Structures are given as structure tokens and as C-alpha cells.
Amino acid sequence: MEDDDRCSSSNPGGIGQEEEDEDGKVLRFLDSLDSYLTLLDALSSTLRQGWFELASARHSMGSSRISSVLLDQKVQSAATTFQVRKSIDGSPSESHPSFAISKWASSRNGKCSFRELEVSRVQKTSKNSELRHRGSSNFYDTTEEHDLTINASSTISDSDVQKERSKSLSVFGTLVSPKLRGAQVSFETALDAIVEIANIRSSMLSAFTQLQQEMKKDLG
Amino acid sequence: MAGRTQIPTKNSALIAMIADEDTVTGFLLAGVGNVDLRRKTNYLIVDSKTTVKAIEDAFKEFTAREDIAVVLISQYIASMIRFLVDSYNKPVPAILEIPSKDHPYDPAHDSVLSRVRYLFSAESVASGRR
């Protein structure tokens, strides 16, 4: 205790700063843990909606028309893909992956265009952690949507997206139930949630690692 | 752990799925299905006839592939290969446990939350106080 007093009197700013950094890390970890659970809850609701719509479509179209047997085994590339980048929080040694999604990317005519959803709060390299706003659980409040284009002429159009969606639906026949289209939208929404969950998970594990290192330092 | 491992940058990476038929069908509708030239898919549909060995092999294959960014696995399926899932510690591909129709999400069984639960255990608090 006396040593602490002497230390604090000789270097009050340093220890205060250290405690603040540690508190910041704890807050960052707890915030990302809370976000992770909230997003999983939102994902569960979205998936439930999707399963319900799929069941409704199966009811109206028939079980044989919506079955895994119909899934295309022809060589095909995924229309919706992910990008992985390195994200740095604080020190350069503590990097973790960040994920983004490219939905319905059309590369048939040589043009490549995509839309990215980024969780701006997760990728910020802020030193001061802030308490998350405890409002609605709508995770879209924390996302920023960027439209990125490779060149001026390659903007994604709604008609391109609709073509890709129709191609995906055509596995189940030419005329499909509106419920199947609804299920498609629900699962697309679920993919957005999955990207956010992947980023939050990455951030949470990074914060956890930093906290473990702090604890080892304190004990050692 | 996360800082020391090399994090590969990937463009046009895939999402792999190990889940029941409805979940896989739904995500395939969203455009994530991929079949390569060797007829290898990025998904495994698990039903009552799927063996644990097949699930293990699919998990090992998907986590070893360089073109996969995220592996989605239904939590009840992850519980069948819990040892394998819990011992996985690479940053990419990320393993996400998701609920299924008949098995809602249980945070107590999530491998990521199990890993960080240590921070809230009595042992960690006691060791911090010493």
C-alpha cells in the first residue's frame, strides 16, 4: 500500500493512464460480448422467419419441389461472397480479421461491382471505449453501408440483383411461391447479421486476448 | 493469439455451411452456394443418416480450405463434434454456431463464449485479488 502511494505520487499520470487503458479494454470486451449476444438473438429471429417462409412455400408448392435433391450440382460460383481484411485495434501487434460481404456480385460480363456492409464501430481504432447506446436491438443502427465500384460504369443495378435472385430461385422451378421469395430475402438478411457477428466475434476475441495479457502482466 | 497469427487477406471468399436441409436451402437461395470443378460443394446437409465421421471430415475440410472465410455450423451439430470445434483456434475461417429449427441457440454451449467465460470465473477473480 505504501509502495503504491509512493508510486502514485511519483508518477500519478502514468498509473492513471494504465488503469484507464485497462478499463477501456474491459469495456470494449464487455461491449462486444453484449453485441455478440444481441446479434445472435436477432439472427435467431431472422432465421425463424426464413424457416417459416420456407415451410409455407413447401406447403403451397409441394414437398417434392423444395428439396435438397433439386440443389444444383453443376459447376457454379457463389454469387454472394465475403472479403477478409486485417483490422488493427490499438497496437499493430493486435490485429484481427474483419469481414465484409459482397451480395449478388455479377462477373458474367466482366464488370465487378459490390456493396459492402461494414461495422464501423468494430473497425474504429479508438483509444477511448464508449459505453454502447442501450437502445433498440436493431443492429442496423451500428452499420454503415458503402457502395464501392471498380470503375465508373460498373454500378450494381436492381435489375442485375433481380436476375441473380431469379437464377437462384429457378432451381425450384419457373413459377415459385412468393413465400419462397420472402424466404430468400430473410436469408439474405441473415447473411448481413452473420457478417456483423463474425466481426464482433473477431473483435471480442482480440479484446479477450489483450485482457488475458494484462492479467498475466499484473500477476507476473 | 489473434495478433501473432497471420491473417490472410481474401477476396471472393466463400461461406461454408454444416446444417440441416432447410438452413442450407435457405442460404443457397441467398446465393452462397458454390460447386467447384471437382464437384466439391461448400456445404454439408446433415440429416439423421449423416455420421459423426462425415461431419468431422467436412469440418476439417472446410477449416483447411483457403477459399472459405466463415464456417456456419448449427449448434446442435457442433455439439456432436464439440472437441474439434473447441480446439479450433485460427482466426480465419471464423466458426459461427447458429441455431436450428429444432434447437434454439444456447449461449452456454457456444465455443467462443466458453473460451471467454474464464474471465468471469471465480478462479480468475481470486487470482486477480491476490
Give which of B25, B98, B109, B129 to mutate to test A binding, by max A Cβ within 10 Å.
B25
Closest chain B CA to residue A199: B94
pLDDT exceeds cutoff 90 at A3: no
Confidence category of residue A55, pLDDT binned at 50, 70, 90? very high
What size, in residues, is chain A?
Answer: 220
In the predicted model, what is the mean pLDDT of residues A127-156? 41
ipTM of the complex: 0.88
Amino acid A109: pLDDT: 41
Q: Model pTM?
A: 0.78
Please write the tens of the pLDDT for every residue from B115-127. 888 766 655 555 5
**Do B56 and B30 meet the contact criterion of CB atoms below 8 Å apart?**
no
> Per the structure block, which three cell numbers stand in for A74?
453443376
Record: contact A72-B12, CB cut-off 8 A? no
In the predicted model, what is the mean pLDDT of residues B62-90? 94
Query: Looking at A34-38, A74-78, A203-207, B84-88, which range is the least confident one?
Result: A74-78
Which range, A100-114, B9-23, B73-87, B116-130, is most confident?
B73-87
What gap in Å lies between CA A143 and CA A200, rounded to an integer? 12
Which residues of chain A have a CB within 8 Å of the CB of B74? none
In the predicted model, what is the mean pLDDT of residues B44-66? 95
pLDDT exceeds cutoff 80 at A194: yes
Q: Between helices B21-29 and A178-219, what is the axis angle to 10°?
A: 100
pLDDT exceeds cutoff 70 at B21: yes
What class is the B14-127 domain?
Answer: alpha beta
Residue A128: strand, helix, or coil = coil
Compute chain B's Rg from CA coordinates: 16
**Do A42 and A139 meet the contact criterion of CB atoms below 8 Å apart?**
yes
Which range, A22-36, A68-82, A145-159, is most confident?
A22-36
Give which of B116, B118, B127 to mutate to test A binding, by max A Cβ within 10 Å.
B116
Domain edges within chain B: 14-127
